[in-house]
Amino acid sequence: MRSRMLRILLVSVCLAMCGRLAADVAVIKDKDGNPVLSLGGDTSLRLEHYSREAYIRNMNPTRANQGPATEFYRQQTRLWADWHLTQNVELFTRVAHRWQDFSSRSGDNRANKASWEWPDEVVIDNLYLNFDKIADTGWSLRFGRMDLTEKNDKGVIGPMFGNGMVLFEGTPGDGSRTLYFDGLVATYKAEQDVLRLFAFYNQYKDEFIVINNRDRRLSVGDSSIVGAYWTHKFDKIFNTDLYLMGVDVHDEQYDNQNMQMATPGVRVFGSPHDLVDYSLEYAQQIGKYQAGVRAGDKVNAYGSMVDARVNLKTPTGTVLQPEFQFEYTWFSGDDPGDGDSYGGWVSSFAGYPIWTEELMPNMLGGNWTNLHQFRLAVPLQVVPKKVTVTPSYAYLLADHTSYAMAGGGGANGDGAVIGHLIGIVARYQITSWWSTSFIVSTLIPGDYFDAGDAGTQEWIRLETRLSF
């Protein structure tokens, strides 16, 4: 294993160094100095470990034989090209290649099946056309395969739709490999308003893996999503998002994720002070859902979600420049006594880790439901623009103690305390094109779980990333 790791690291460094040497030709311009073609990419090497003790079965009873801790290392390389066909027409393409090897994994005899050999696969990760200022209006159109991210007024990349709590990941169950949606987004931007109309359709199995189709399937079936998202800026202090989206999922393999769901929602956000930001979001699901019961009938669904955030910054020059990030999140759980309906939140398209650590997503399978989270994170600038350390703490409660967090059944405990989630993230920006990070988190379980099965869980990741 050590020789393979060294080989991967050497290849990654060589790719990045070649990218830096070619930096002068990475942007091709026309005679007027306007960019015509931009090229780039990144490569990362990740070592990861997370425990999967027996009590996790109580969070998702359909997963038997959790087995030993999962440990693997992975290399992912992405290459992109941004073609400026005209001043207002852009073609963006990105391919991704991932190679990984598991030294251990839960279940019987799965380590070899999970270890991939070169060249593994090349995935068309993004491929879209972007039309800006159509007919000299405020309308733009993005069509194709895209991630739902964009730059905000501060130049920071973030979710296109709010905080990404409802709609963010088009490939659920895919982990960190891809996030794309296939479809289109029509956007109208005015001085105080942004209106987005969107329609997406993602297949249960991707047909555009161009090398070594690994027979990958998503955690939900073929899905179509349509909706509208309207942002109105009143002023710096108070702004609003209003949205309505409809989801239809047809699951042919398991017949346990079928749904027809409408989700209206509202979000208010702003900055009442240069050192204070806030956001408050509420969403309601209305429709029919299979409720995770294999071959069962769809029932009425009415899940709810609340996400409240307050960020308190400190004045420039403060030692370590701390920022206090408070957050409360509620994902409704199902009441098992109400057999004619399903009250749990269904997070099919925002299952990718919304928070930095991935311990809870691994335990839940990306299904955020039946959860109250009280969270505090404090980023610290140990070395400005170089080293950031962020400790975090989250107190987790169950919405319904008799309902497991991900899929029904009981948790075998007699209380509502899921546990205490403690984490720390350390990031080192070595150069403008080379960064590394170390993330560790642990869950100290509470009385929601059977004391005979419960044990402290840990998740660890070491990653280095090179951009070129």
Cβ pair 440, 424 in contact under 8 A: yes
Cβ pair 54, 63 in contact under 8 A: no
Give the mean model confidence (pLDDT) for residues 329-346: 86
Question: Residue 186 and residue 203: Cα distance in Å, rounded?
Answer: 21
Question: Is the predicted pLDDT of residue 289 greater than 70, yes or no?
Answer: yes
Bridge partners (DSSP) of residue 151 are 157
Give the mean model confidence (pLDDT) for residues 323-344: 88
Residue type for position 68: P
User: Which of 32-36, 46-50, 350-354 shows the highest mean pLDDT?
Assistant: 46-50
Burial (CB count <10 Å: 0-12, 13-18, 19+), residue 191: exposed
Q: Domains along the chain? A: 2-467 (2.40.160.100)
User: pLDDT-derived band of residue 54, with 50, 70 and 90 as boundaries?
Assistant: very low
Question: Is the predicted pLDDT of residue 259 greater than 50, yes or no?
Answer: yes
* Better-predicted residue by pLDDT, 276 or 49: 276
User: pLDDT-derived band of residue 5, with 50, 70 and 90 as boundaries?
Assistant: low
Residue 336: how many CA atoms within 13 Å on its side-chain side? Answer: 16
Cβ pair 95, 78 in contact under 8 A: yes
Q: Is 56 helix (H, G, I), strand (E, B) or coil?
A: helix
Task: Please tell me the predicted confidence (pLDDT) of residue 57.
Answer: 44
Q: Could you tell me which of 14, 20, 157, 23 has the C-alpha nearest to residue 75?
A: 14
Give the mean model confidence (pLDDT) for residues 107-122: 56
User: pLDDT-derived band of residue 240, with 50, 70 and 90 as boundaries?
Assistant: very high
Give the mean model confidence (pLDDT) for residues 361-371: 80
Residue type for position 330: W
Distance between alpha carbon 310 and the CA centroid of its chain, in Å? 21
pLDDT over 90 percentage in the chain:
41
pTM of the model: 0.87
Give the mean model confidence (pLDDT) for residues 333-349: 84
Give the mean model confidence (pLDDT) for residues 336-340: 75
Give the Cβ contact number of residue 87 at 10 Å: 9
Question: Residue 148 and residue 126: Cα distance in Å, rounded?
Answer: 11
User: Using one digit for the tens of pLDDT, what is the confidence trace for 394-441?
Assistant: 999 988 876 655 444 445 556 788 889 999 999 999 988 889 999 999
* Better-predicted residue by pLDDT, 450 or 62: 450
Task: Please tell me the predicted confidence (pLDDT) of residue 24.
Answer: 45
User: Using one digit for the tens of pLDDT, what is the confidence trace for 198-228?
Assistant: 999 998 888 777 776 666 677 788 899 999 9
User: pLDDT-derived band of residue 65, with 50, 70 and 90 as boundaries?
Assistant: very low
Question: Is the predicted pLDDT of residue 2 greater than 60, yes or no?
Answer: no
Residues 6+ apart with CB under 8 A from 383: none
Q: Is 260 helix (H, G, I), strand (E, B) or coil?
A: strand
User: pLDDT-derived band of residue 13, with 50, 70 and 90 as boundaries?
Assistant: low
Give the mean model confidence (pLDDT) for residues 102-129: 67
Task: Please tell me the predicted confidence (pLDDT) of residue 32.
Answer: 74
Question: Is the predicted pLDDT of residue 9 greater than 50, yes or no?
Answer: yes
Question: Is the predicted pLDDT of residue 338 greater than 70, yes or no?
Answer: yes
Tell me phi and psi for residue 112, to 5 degrees: -65, -35
Residues 6+ apart with CB under 8 A from 354: 163, 164, 165, 168, 368
Task: Please tell me the predicted confidence (pLDDT) of residue 365.
Answer: 72
Give the Cβ contact number of residue 65 at 10 Å: 11
Residue found by looking up tokens 């004619």 in the block: 340
Task: Please tell me the predicted confidence (pLDDT) of residue 36.
Answer: 85
Task: Please tell me the predicted confidence (pLDDT) of residue 381.
Answer: 95
Question: Residue 346 and residue 249: Cα distance in Å, rounded?
Answer: 12
User: Which of 51-60, 259-268, 403-412, 453-462 shows the highest mean pLDDT?
Assistant: 259-268
- The C-alpha R_g of the chain, in whole angstroms, comes to 23
* Better-predicted residue by pLDDT, 450 or 301: 301
Question: Residue 376 and residue 399: Cα distance in Å, rounded?
Answer: 20
Mean residue pLDDT of the chain comes to 82
